[in-house]
Amino acid sequence: MNPFDRISVNPAQMGGAPCIRGLRIPVATVVGLVAEGKKEPEILADYPDLEPADIRQALAYAAEAVRERQLPLKAG
C-alpha cells in the first residue's frame, strides 16, 4: 500500500515536482501555505480542487522527505 496515494510525480508536469493527485498544485505550494499560517478552510477556498486529505498528505509527505535527508542549517 502506498502511503502517499494522493501525491503524484510526472516528469512532464510541473518539472517533475511532487503534486497533489495529478493536479498542477505542487506539494511545496501546499506546505508553504500552511507554513505561512493559512488555515485549512482558507487553502481549500483558494484551491477548490484540493480536499482536506490532500493537505494532510502533503504535510506527511514533506515530513518524510525531510526525515530522509538533512538540510544545511546555520550552527547556532
- pLDDT at residue 71 tops 70: no
- 43, 30 in Cβ contact below 8 A? yes
Predicted pLDDT of residue 72: 63
**Up-side HSE of residue 19: CA atoms within 13 Å toward CB?**
15
Q: Which of 48, 21, 46, 51 is nearest to 36 (CA)?
A: 46
Q: Which domains does the chain have, with CATH numbers?
A: 7-67 (1.10.10.10)
Q: Tell me the per-residue pLDDT of 31-62, one tens digit each, with 9 for 90 and over.
A: 999 999 999 999 999 999 999 999 999 999 99
Q: Tell me the per-residue pLDDT of 5-22, one tens digit each, with 9 for 90 and over.
A: 999 999 999 999 999 999
Kindly list the distances between the CA atom of residue 64 and the CA atoms of 3, 44, 67, in Å, as whole numbers in the listed order: 11, 23, 5
